[in-house]
């Protein structure tokens, strides 16, 4: 059993333990969950990191490969269909798995406060944990899809059972939206499986063996699809309903993953979900779940359909730009702190789209790094909103003034997180946003996306400064006063338990702002390799 399987099994084992624990022992349940997530993080650094010690040498350099024959369907005269339990990790997966294992202990620790049905809560949290990890390390498309769809179910219950007043509405909206995106991925997945064969198995068994292995569906560096079945549904140059089938597939997948990201105009589930979800769930949602969308766009949309990706990259960039600007503008007008952070999330995830669409090495590096950085920063931001909800059950920005004097430690963390999110140099947000712009401006004239998109996107950073600074001024400067319905006396500074949550995130924001190379060494070749792959189709 390899390191990656063990990583996936850890939450499952903890889940089994939890199921046999008595429901009443709330503290024990939380401890088991926190322990499992911590163990997961330790395992990551002890067992997985060493394989990546020297950085990743080449593009598509998958390590810790575990490939087990799982399911073989006989489809009669069509041939065989092979599904493998195939896990592996390249630089991009590495970064995102790292993000997951770092954020989950914080989420579990924050969940100690859960009062209602703790057993169900922690069981669902562990299931969610496992399926998110699975998404990032599955190489077989079928396996990826299982994790991808299964993720929705625990999330649905986690929002709907432990959230705010309109939580059930938010939960079902979340589920319907994201399911709408993912069911069409199923159609494309099956079509892809019929368009590519496994060269080794086909030769071995003497009949076409269709495959879900994503590596077989990618072209080589010269842009040649070696395993493509000529004339099959997603082979080059085939028409489907009057459109190029591969372009159609690209768009369907793009919409599916854009819903997850979420990009404007398919973002509307996100503010509802965030506003209604409890703090730890908001943290998972923003920090990890959204990254599955960005990951899917790189790995699947651009990785499997590079020619369509290159051809339609303008539209992806446009979607990124609209998300950046629209998210930022709407964030400016929010009264609820959590809603503002949710919209700022949309804006910051827009940079991921822009970076990918730039097709440039710097842009792709920036996109992946931005996912990590956004994970760290948004986790902190949602915890910040959570601190206020815990105290007064009131997140109305204008209800607060002069918190600085009352809560100095809290203010310090808020300041750093706000600055990191704004992209202040020296903090992590700056590095990835700069890389994205480096990529998207490109050689200016040679760039695949027009310069005006990049120019307008820069405004997103300006807007971010506006809403973050304005909020900060409103809430922290001046004389202390609180005008909401909550208890003003409850507004005391962070306790040690809460500080523990912020410290690791803040350290990461600062360290990665100064030494981005710590992360970049693991992923830069993996991410920029996609630029090389895509350059074959320019």
Partner 1 sequence: MELSVSYQLRALLASLQASVGGIWPELVLIAGFLLAIVLEITVGKRLRSAVPIAAMGSLGLYLGAVLLFWPGEQLSDLGFLHMIQVDRYAAYMKLLIGFCSLLAVLAAQQSVKLRIHSKGMGEYYLVLLGMTVGMVFMTMARNLLMMYIALEMVSLPAYALTAYARMKQKGAEAALKYVIYGCFASGLMLYGISWIYGFTGTFDPLAANFGPGLQAAGIWPVTMAMAMVLGGFAFKIGALPFHFWMPDVMEGAPHSVASLFSVAPKVAGFAMLIRWMAMLQQGLGSEAAASHGILSNIHWMLAVMAIGSMLLGNLAALRQDHFRRMLAYSAIAQAGYLLAGVLMWQADGFAVVMFYLTVYLFMNMGAFLLAGWLEEAAGIVRIKEMKGMAGSLPWVAGITTVFMISLTGLPPTAGFIAKLRLFLAGLAQYEAEGNVLIVILLVVVLLNTVISLFYYLRVSSTMIFGNPTIKSWPAFRGLIPVVLATMAIPLLWFGIISFDRLINFLGTLAPIVHG
Of 62, 112, 150, 537, the one binding partner 1 by CB under 8 A: 150
Tell whether residue 75 is a contact of partner 1 (CB under 8 A).
yes
Other C-beta atoms closer than 10 Å to the C-beta of 189 total 20
Tell whether residue 311 is a contact of partner 1 (CB under 8 A).
no
Residue 313's φ and ψ, nearest 5 degrees, are -65, -25
Restricted to residues 111-130, the positions that interact with partner 1 (CB under 8 A) are 117, 120
Restricted to residues 152-171, the positions that interact with partner 1 (CB under 8 A) are 152-153, 156-157, 160-161, 167-168, 171
d(CA 165, CA 157): 15
Buried residues in 357-378 as b, exposed as e (16+ CB within 10 A): bbbbbbbbbbbbbbbbbbbbbb
Question: Can the peptide bond before residue 423 be classed as cis, meaning omega within 30 degrees of 0?
Answer: no
Of the listed pieces 30-38, 69-77, 407-415, 434-442, which binds partner 1 according to CB under 8 A? 69-77
> Whole-number minimum distance, CB 2 to partner 1, in Å?
20
- Rounded CA Rg of the chain: 23
Nearest to 257 by CA among 325, 356, 326, 170: 356
Restricted to residues 170-229, the positions that interact with partner 1 (CB under 8 A) are 171-172, 175-176, 179-180, 183-184, 186-187, 190-191, 193-194
Between 240 and 488, name the residue whose CB sits nearer to partner 1: 240
Of 240, 255, 332, 456, the one binding partner 1 by CB under 8 A: 240
Tell whether residue 262 is a contact of partner 1 (CB under 8 A).
no
Give the N- to C-terminal CA distance of the chain in Å, as an integer: 42
Between 146 and 205, name the residue whose CB sits nearer to partner 1: 146
Q: Which residue has the tokens 């990618």?
A: 218
> Whole-number minimum distance, CB 130 to partner 1, in Å?
11
Contacts of 125 (CB under 8 A, 6+ apart): 33, 107, 108, 111, 154, 158, 280, 284
Between 67 and 521, name the residue whose CB sits nearer to partner 1: 67
Of 73, 221, 492, 503, the one binding partner 1 by CB under 8 A: 73
> Which pair of structure tokens corresponds to residue 29?
């349940």
d(CA 340, CA 335): 7
Of the listed pieces 9-17, 232-240, 282-290, 358-366, which binds partner 1 according to CB under 8 A? 232-240
Q: Tell me how far CA of residue 212 lies from CA of 138, 180, 403, in angstroms.
A: 11, 22, 55
Between 230 and 517, name the residue whose CB sits nearer to partner 1: 230
Of the listed pieces 76-84, 280-288, 306-314, 480-488, which binds partner 1 according to CB under 8 A? 76-84
Query: If DSSP codes are grouped into helix, strand and coil, which group holds residue 224?
Result: coil
Of the listed pieces 32-40, 45-53, 144-152, 469-477, which binds partner 1 according to CB under 8 A? 144-152
Tell whether residue 532 is a contact of partner 1 (CB under 8 A).
no
> Whole-number minimum distance, CB 153 to partner 1, in Å?
7
Restricted to residues 83-112, the positions that interact with partner 1 (CB under 8 A) are 83
> Whole-number minimum distance, CB 129 to partner 1, in Å?
16
Of 74, 222, 237, 489, the one binding partner 1 by CB under 8 A: 74
> Whole-number minimum distance, CB 500 to partner 1, in Å?
31
> Whole-number minimum distance, CB 237 to partner 1, in Å?
15
Nearest to 453 by CA among 346, 345, 363: 363
| CB contact at 8 A, 143 and 302 | no
Tell whether residue 244 is a contact of partner 1 (CB under 8 A).
no
> Whole-number minimum distance, CB 241 to partner 1, in Å?
6
d(CA 427, CA 358): 23
Between 243 and 483, name the residue whose CB sits nearer to partner 1: 243
| CB contact at 8 A, 147 and 138 | yes
d(CA 286, CA 137): 19
| CB contact at 8 A, 63 and 88 | yes
Other C-beta atoms closer than 10 Å to the C-beta of 327 total 28
Strands 400-401 and 243-244: unpaired
Between 239 and 479, name the residue whose CB sits nearer to partner 1: 239
> Whole-number minimum distance, CB 67 to partner 1, in Å?
17
CA angle 500, 114, 385 (to 5 degrees): 55
Between 84 and 498, name the residue whose CB sits nearer to partner 1: 84
Query: If DSSP codes are grouped into helix, strand and coil, which group holds residue 69?
Result: strand
Nearest to 352 by CA among 364, 362, 340, 360: 364
| CB contact at 8 A, 107 and 280 | yes
Between 191 and 327, name the residue whose CB sits nearer to partner 1: 191
Of 72, 409, 495, 497, the one binding partner 1 by CB under 8 A: 72
Which residues of this chain interact with partner 1, rule CB under 8 A?
A: 71-76, 78, 81, 83, 117, 120, 145-146, 149-150, 152-153, 156-157, 160-161, 167-168, 171-172, 175-176, 179-180, 183-184, 186-187, 190-191, 193-194, 231-233, 240-241
């Amino acid at each position: 059993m390899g390191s990656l399987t063990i990583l996936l099994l850890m939450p499952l084992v903890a889940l089994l333990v939890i199921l046999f624990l008595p429901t009443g022992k709330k503290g024990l349940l939380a401890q088991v969950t926190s322990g499992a997530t911590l163990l997961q993080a330790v395992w990551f650094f002890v067992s997985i990191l060493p394989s990546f010690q020297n950085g990743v040498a080449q593009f598509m350099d998958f390590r810790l490969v575990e490939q087990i024959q799982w399911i073989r369907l006989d489809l009669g005269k069509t041939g065989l269909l092979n599904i493998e339990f195939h896990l592996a990790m390249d630089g991009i997966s590495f970064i995102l798995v790292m993000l997951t294992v770092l954020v989950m202990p914080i989420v579990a620790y924050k969940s100690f406060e859960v009062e209602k049905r703790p057993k169900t809560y922690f069981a669902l949290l562990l299931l969610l944990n496992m399926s998110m990890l699975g998404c990032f390390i599955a190489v077989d498309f079928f396996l990826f899809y299982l994790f991808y769809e299964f993720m929705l179910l625990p999330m649905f219950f986690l929002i709907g059972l432990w959230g705010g007043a309109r939580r059930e509405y938010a939960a079902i909206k979340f589920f319907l939206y994201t399911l709408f995106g993912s069911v069409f991925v199923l159609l494309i997945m099956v079509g892809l499986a019929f368009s590519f064969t496994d060269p080794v198995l086909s030769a071995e068994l003497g009949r076409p063996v269709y495959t879900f292995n994503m590596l077989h569906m990618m072209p080589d560096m010269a842009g040649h699809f070696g395993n493509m079945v000529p004339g099959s549904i997603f082979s080059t140059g085939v028409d489907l309903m009057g459109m190029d089938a591969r372009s159609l597939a690209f768009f369907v997948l793009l919409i599916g993953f854009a819903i997850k990201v979420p990009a404007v105009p398919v973002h509307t589930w996100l503010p509802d979900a965030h506003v209604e979800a409890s703090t730890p769930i908001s943290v998972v949602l923003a920090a990890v779940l959204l990254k599955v969308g960005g990951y899917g766009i790189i790995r699947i949309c651009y990785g499997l359909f590079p020619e369509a990706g290159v051809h339609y990259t303008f539209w992806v960039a446009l979607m990124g730009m609209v998300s950046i600007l629209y998210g930022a503008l709407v964030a400016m007008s929010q009264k609820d702190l959590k809603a503002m952070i949710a919209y700022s999330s949309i804006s910051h995830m827009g940079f991921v789209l822009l970076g990918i669409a730039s097709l440039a090495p710097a842009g792709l590096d920036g996109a992946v790094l931005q996912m990590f950085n956004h994970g760290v920063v948004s986790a902190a931001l949602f915890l910040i909103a959570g601190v206020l909800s815990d105290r007064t059950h009131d997140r109305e920005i204008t209800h607060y003034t002069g918190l600085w004097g009352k809560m100095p430690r809290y203010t310090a963390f808020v300041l750093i997180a706000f600055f990191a999110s704004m992209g202040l140099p020296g903090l992590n947000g700056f590095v990835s946003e700069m890389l994205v712009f480096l990529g998207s401006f490109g050689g200016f004239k040679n760039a695949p996306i027009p310069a005006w998109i990049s120019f307008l996107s820069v405004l997103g950073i300006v807007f971010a400064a506006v809403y973050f600074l304005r909020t900060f001024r409103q809430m922290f400067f001046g004389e202390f006063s609180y005008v909401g319905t909550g208890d003003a006396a409850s507004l005391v500074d962070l306790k040690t338990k809460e500080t523990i949550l912020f410290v690791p995130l803040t350290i990461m924001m600062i360290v990665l702002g100064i030494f981005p190379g710590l992360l970049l060494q693991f992923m830069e070749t993996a991410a920029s390799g996609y630029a090389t792959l895509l350059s074959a189709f320019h």
